[in-house]
């Protein structure tokens, strides 16, 4: 006849298996401690259980579950407390009467219910912590109880290591994610510059080639002179384009651009005074509200350029049907300092031009001063410091540019 | 070789406009050149002549990147008014773009006869006229 063990043994076995399953799902230290402290108490029927972690030369009583408070949150030197002894000696401590054992700092125990205890190390080879069981009466913890407790501690060690590996993996994954994001941004930039070369540099270049062809093929001296003269504006345009691209590259590669806390209202007032001529000419009304948020941590040269470009655009592309009304405001959203400029101007048909708006040399209205640079460099500047720009627009009603400038912590 | 009556150039850049015009003039193969500075202007021009097909151009040289209405949008709008125009017009995309995506896209538009990368030389233009006359 085989010995099946007592009902308590079977119950304990079930509890241990259940604990193993729960621990296998635990993803962090807190969950592990919560599972272990409650399992430790239930497995032995103790009046209290503690979860101790080694922190260098200290024992940190990280968690507990007991009939009345023990030492949760406290730290004791390794050589003055029993969990320290367990970890240093790499073996369990089993004590029937704590007041008769000189390994116990009696003063620390006097305020508690504890009369006897059993303590086992977590990861016996090189302990990283300990699990304690406490009883309110004098009793000798049985071999079985200590063995069960040690089994629990061994499982706990495995779970802790799993969590550690998992955390390391997650950190690596996060690192990789950031790297991929950066690569994607760089790929986008590369595509953008390829686009600029294919379109913006190529356009004046093809005109120069064209002129050169005509120069060669034309028979009359007058015509040749005319073609020679025509080269000047094309060369100037090519040079302008080149300088614009250089500006953009400088913004994109200036990782250490100086940022300051800037007063957006002052900055806007400066830009308004600078554009006073245009404002008077357009009979424009400009209102602003910086009551929600006034300061932004931003590169001064970019902020001035951004305000200048957006405001002069709003003035330039006003509707001939009504006097321009421009409203500027700032606000906080999702931790971002946002800046918004709203006009009642011509607007842009975003269904047709949506993706084009911020590209170099893209213009949408037949305006003699339209160059297609302002919004391109604005986007470049905002994105270079981690922000973003977006546009809502209805043709013949107006536009709203919204900028996320800076994320507040 | 028979001359073209009307050639329409849709191009926003004034230097390119001027050069194309000069080049065409030097070939002496076109009686009249109509310049449109963007797609919308061209659509308006074509619409205005829809009841006088003899005045409509035989050939269009179309730029792609233009403000107000670019070349691609012009082609969409052109497709809509094409049934009302009593004339078949040969359209060439003339662009400085060397973007393969543009070439690929041009191939999918049935209204486009060919994709020409600037600059357009005299001999290339003469080929286009010859081709058009041969087909007609």
In chain A, what residues touch B122 (CB-CB under 8 Å)?
A: 217
Whose tokens are 């993803």? That residue is A27
What string of pLDDT tens digits covers the 409 residues of chain A? 345 567 777 888 888 899 999 998 888 899 999 999 989 899 888 999 999 999 999 999 999 999 999 999 999 999 999 999 999 999 999 999 999 998 998 888 999 999 999 999 999 899 999 999 999 999 999 998 899 999 999 999 999 999 999 899 999 999 999 899 888 888 888 888 888 887 788 888 988 998 998 888 888 899 899 899 989 989 998 998 889 888 888 888 887 889 999 999 999 999 999 999 999 999 999 999 999 999 999 999 999 999 999 999 999 999 999 999 999 999 999 999 999 999 999 998 888 777 788 888 777 777 777 778 889 999 999 988 889 999 999 999 999 999 999 987 6
In this prediction the ipTM stands at 0.81
Cite the DSSP H helix spans in B1-136.
14-27, 39-48, 71-81, 100-108, 122-135
A203 and B23: CB-CB below 8 Å? Answer: no
**Distance of residue A235 Cα from the nearest chain B Cα, in angstroms:** 11
From A192, which residue of chain B is nearest by alpha-carbon distance?
Answer: B99
The secondary structure of A126-141 as a DSSP string is: S-SEEEEEEESS----
The edge-to-edge listing of strands for the beta sheet with A325-333 is A285-289, A325-333, A336-343, A398-407, A388-394
Q: How far, in Å, are A381, B73, B116 from residue B79 at the CA level?
A: 40, 10, 20
**Distance of residue B24 Cα from the nearest chain A Cα, in angstroms:** 11
Whose tokens are 């407790």? That residue is A149
Of B73, B97, B119, the CB nearest to A198: B97
Interface test with B, best of A210, A226, A240 (most B CBs within 10 A): A210
Q: How confident is the model at residue B136, as a pLDDT?
A: 58
A207 and B73: CB-CB below 8 Å? Answer: no
Q: CB contact, 8 Å: A317 with chain B?
A: no
pTM: 0.63
Q: How far, in Å, are A115, A159, A314 from residue A280 at the CA level?
A: 89, 73, 14
Please state, in angstroms and rounded to a whole number, the distance separating the CA atoms of residues A131 and A123: 11
In DSSP terms, B34 is beta-bridged to B8
In chain A, what residues touch B18 (CB-CB under 8 Å)?
A: 230
From B68, which residue of chain A is nearest by alpha-carbon distance?
Answer: A364
Q: CB contact, 8 Å: B96 with chain A?
A: yes
E strand or H helix at A89, and its extent? helix A82-89
Residues with Cβ within 8 Å of A371's Cβ and at least 6 positions away in sequence, in order, are A361, A363
Please state, in angstroms and rounded to a whole number, the distance separating the CA atoms of residues A325 and A315: 9
Distance of CA A180 to the CA centre of its chain: 14
Q: How confident is the model at residue A1, as a pLDDT?
A: 39
Q: How confident is the model at residue A168, as a pLDDT?
A: 93
Regions of chain B short of the pLDDT cut 50: none
**Distance of residue B54 Cα from the nearest chain A Cα, in angstroms:** 30
Task: Indicate the angle between helix axes B39-48 and B71-81, nearest 10 degrees.
Answer: 20
Q: How confident is the model at residue A255, as a pLDDT?
A: 77
Whose tokens are 């973007």? That residue is B99
In chain A, what residues touch B37 (CB-CB under 8 Å)?
A: 366
Q: CB contact, 8 Å: A370 with chain B?
A: yes
């Amino acid at each position: 006849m085989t010995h099946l063990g007592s009902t308590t043994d079977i119950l304990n076995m079930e509890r241990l298996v259940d604990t193993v399953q729960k621990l296998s799902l635990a993803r962090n230290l807190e969950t592990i401690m919560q599972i272990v402290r409650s399992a430790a108490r239930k497995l032995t029927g103790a009046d209290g259980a503690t979860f101790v972690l080694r922190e260098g030369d200290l024992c940190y009583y990280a968690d507990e579950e007991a009939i009345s408070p023990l030492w949760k949150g406290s730290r004791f030197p390794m050589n003055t407390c029993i969990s320290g002894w367990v970890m240093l000696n790499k073996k369990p401590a089993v004590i029937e009467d704590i007041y008769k054992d000189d390994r116990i700092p009696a003063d620390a125990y006097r305020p508690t219910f504890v009369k006897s205890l059993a303590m086992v190390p977590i990861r016996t080879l090189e302990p990283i912590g300990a699990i304690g069981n406490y009883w309110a009466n004098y009793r000798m913890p049985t071999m079985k109880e200590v063995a069960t407790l040690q089994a629990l501690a061994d499982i706990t060690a495995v779970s802790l290591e799993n969590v550690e590996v998992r955390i390391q993996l997650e950190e690596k994954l996060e690192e990789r994610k950031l790297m991929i994001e950066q690569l994607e941004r760089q790929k986008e930039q590369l595509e953008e510059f390829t686009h600029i070369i294919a379109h913006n540099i190529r356009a004046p270049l093809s005109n120069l080639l064209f002129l050169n062809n005509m120069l060669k093929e034309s028979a009359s001296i007058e015509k040749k002179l005319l073609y020679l003269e025509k080269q000047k504006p094309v060369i100037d345009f090519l040079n302008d384009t080149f300088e614009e691209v250089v500006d953009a590259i400088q913004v994109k590669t200036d990782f250490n651009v100086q940022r300051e806390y800037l007063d957006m209202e002052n900055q806007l007032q400066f830009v308004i005074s600078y554009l006073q001529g245009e404002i008077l000419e357009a009979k424009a009304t400009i209102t602003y509200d910086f009551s929600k948020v006034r300061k932004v941590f931003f590169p001064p040269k970019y902020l001035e350029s951004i305000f200048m470009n957006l405001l002069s655009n709003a003035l330039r592309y006003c509707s001939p049907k009504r006097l321009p009304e421009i409203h500027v405001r700032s606000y906080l959203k999702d931790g971002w300092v946002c800046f918004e400029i709203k006009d009642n101007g011509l607007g842009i048909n975003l269904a047709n031009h949506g993706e084009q708006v911020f590209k170099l040399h893209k213009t949408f209205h037949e305006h003699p001063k339209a160059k297609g640079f302002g919004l391109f460099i604005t986007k470049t500047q905002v994105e270079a410091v981690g922000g973003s720009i977006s546009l809502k627009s209805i043709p013949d009603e107006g536009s709203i540019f919204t900028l996320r400038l800076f994320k507040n912590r | 070789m028979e001359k073209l009556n009307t050639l329409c150039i849709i191009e926003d850049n004034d230097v390119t406009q001027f050069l194309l015009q000069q080049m065409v003039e030097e070939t002496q193969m076109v009686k009249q050149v109509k310049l449109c500075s963007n797609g919308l202007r061209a659509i308006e021009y074509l619409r205005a002549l829809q009841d006088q097909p003899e005045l409509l151009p035989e050939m269009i040289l179309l730029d792609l990147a233009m403000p107000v209405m670019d070349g691609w949008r012009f082609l969409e709008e052109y497709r809509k008014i094409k049934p009302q125009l009593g004339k078949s017009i040969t359209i060439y995309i003339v662009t400085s773009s060397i973007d393969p995506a543009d070439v690929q896209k041009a191939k999918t538009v049935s209204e486009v006869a060919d994709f020409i990368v600037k600059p357009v030389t005299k001999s290339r233009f003469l080929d286009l006229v010859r081709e058009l006359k041969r087909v007609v």
